[in-house]
Homo-oligomer: A and B are copies of this chain.
């Protein structure tokens, strides 16, 4: 196999969810395809290396520092929604139901994967809560799984003593979801968090 392809396979195999077989399939696809596309992909990668940085306030990925959300004076500075990744910011912001600011942790606590508090952007979050009174609420929107819950608990214990209200997004039956397809953990959550009608 050509050295250049072998190197490309090795690099592609380091992507998440891409094993050696998939890397090889991708590499051959790239070799077969139009050279212009491969060059453009390489250019796009180099562009990201050159231009993309983390916002010094919310640590979201951005080309401008501070990012568009942090720089937007029309967004409420009193609420910060904490998420684990930049894609969560997109998911939440698309709905337009939240008009505050965000904070991106870049991960969740996971002892099994060796990810501890020092690996997440928690210090940056705490810095944003000073001086007291500006930020009134921290909404923790990590995933509703073990790591997400553990991260939420950990943050809550750090933030509450600072006199800031801490809330957690609700989990329950998805809108439009059938009960018969919901798992037991979700049903238990939905029952526990029932609201009076």
Contacts and interface: CB of A to CB of B under 8 A. Distances in A.
Given A2-B61, A5-B52, 10 more contacts: A2-B62, A4-B47, A11-B44, A15-B29, A15-B30, A28-B61, A28-B85, A30-B45, A38-B46, A42-B49
B61 A49 contact: no
B29 A16 contact: yes
Contacts of A117: none
A30 to B, nearest CB: 6
B7 A35 contact: no
How many chain A residues sit at the interface, stated as a range, is 35 or more
Nearest to A50: B4
A37 interface: yes
A24 B91 CA distance: 12
A176 interface: no
B28 A87 contact: yes
Contact of A106 (B32, B50, B52): B32
